[in-house]
Amino acid sequence: MDLAQAQKLWQPEPGWLNTATYGLPPDPAWEAVQEVLADWRGGRVSFEGWDQAVGRSRAAFAGLVGVPAEDVTVGSTASQLLAPVAAALPPGATVVVPEVEFTSLLFPWLVQEDRGVRVRTVPLAGLVEAIDAGTDVVAFSLVQSADGSVAPYREIVAAARAHGAFVVVDATQACGWLPFDASLADAVVVGAYKWLMSPRGASFAYLAPALRERMRPDAANWYAGKDPQDSFYGLPLRLADDARRFDISPAWFCYVGAAPALELLAEVGLAAVHEHDVALANRFLAGLGRPPGDSAIVSVAVPDAQQKLARAGVRAAVRAGRVRASFHLYTTEADVDLALTALAG
């Protein structure tokens, strides 16, 4: 399916430029959720059918980011998936992060400070140079939530490897429009409700085997069992050997919606989505007399921008005191031009 065909599977009202806050579901995802809600309401089925969507989602996510499915764990939020990574740091470890970073990537390290873990913040533009022999972990968003800045992923990884540091990435604002190889990092966490267009409550993490060996599954539960169907009751501890040992029992309905959304993205192809999204972002920037960028998220300062956009029915966000607009595969040139006309007025 090409992108033009896929666009017919969304029903957005004109002027939605806010995928960086939450994505809109394609018809197959919306319809799957309606069906499962009806089944739940009537008590028609057992949970096993719903649970198949978790495996489908895990496999689809793994394919999108280029890693084996057995190295992917599922959860509900990015910070929850990051927590055991932070808890595995030895006392006295140093974590280097960008200074303007979304707190879901920042707070999990900060709560470890009572164990002597030190968090050092630096400008994103200087992150590569800031990685040194005293760095144990470098953690960053692949795409910054506030303004859409794209981190120099490969350069950061190279610097971290040169100094023996782990690499932890939050790809929530990237995965779904920006192709990247998750296997270059040690951990990649993604909240699926933005660019992966899934219900809020579905999240994924790639955890490299070498990192998992240092981690403890403090949220161990039946679903993390080697055979979940044989892990309902009693001793002994019998967890999965792969990344599933870090799974939490999933919010099934969220994954029922996630599976068709991720599978559709895979069918269209991230390269095509990337080209479409960035082209629309640059159309928006050009209309404001700004130079082009490399992101599907842009941040602009225009007098009274929020009020002008709201009057025209354009929905965007305000982050760090600036209007943030974001463009995804269901966004059209008409949406962009509607926003430009509003801002010109």
Same domain assignment for residues 247 and 274? no
What confidence tens digit (pLDDT) does each residue in 153-180 have? Answer: 999 999 999 999 999 999 999 999 999 9
DSSP state letters, 99-130: SS--HHHHHHHHTTGGGT-EEEEE-GGGHHHH
For residue 208, the model assigns a pLDDT of 98
Beta-carbon contacts of 180 under 8 Å, excluding residues fewer than 6 positions away, are 65, 142, 153, 171, 174
For residue 345, the model assigns a pLDDT of 78
pLDDT confidence bin for 2, thresholds 50/70/90: very high
For residue 164, the model assigns a pLDDT of 98
Beta-carbon contacts of 51 under 8 Å, excluding residues fewer than 6 positions away, are 250, 252
For residue 71, the model assigns a pLDDT of 99
In the numeric block, which tokens belong to residue 245?
């040992």
pLDDT at 321 over 80: no
From 37, 77, 110, select the one nearest 201 (Cα to Cα). 77
Same domain assignment for residues 162 and 199? yes
Q: Which of 235, 266, 297 is the last residue of a domain?
A: 266
Domain of 7, in residue numbers = 3-26+269-344
pLDDT confidence bin for 344, thresholds 50/70/90: very high
For residue 176, the model assigns a pLDDT of 98
Q: What end-to-end distance do the CA atoms of the chain give, in Å?
A: 39
- Average pLDDT of every residue of the chain: 97
Q: What percent of the chain has pLDDT over 70?
A: 100
pLDDT at 248 over 80: yes
Q: Which of 220, 241, 266 is the last residue of a domain?
A: 266
For residue 312, the model assigns a pLDDT of 96
The number of folded domains in the chain is: 2
For residue 156, the model assigns a pLDDT of 98
Mean pLDDT throughout 301-306?
A: 90
Q: Which of 205, 235, 266 is the last residue of a domain?
A: 266
Same domain assignment for residues 153 and 218? yes
Same domain assignment for residues 230 and 82? yes
- Residue 136 belongs to some domain of the structure: yes
For residue 318, the model assigns a pLDDT of 85
What confidence tens digit (pLDDT) does each residue in 205-225 have? Answer: 999 999 999 999 999 999 999
In the numeric block, which tokens belong to residue 20?
């960086």
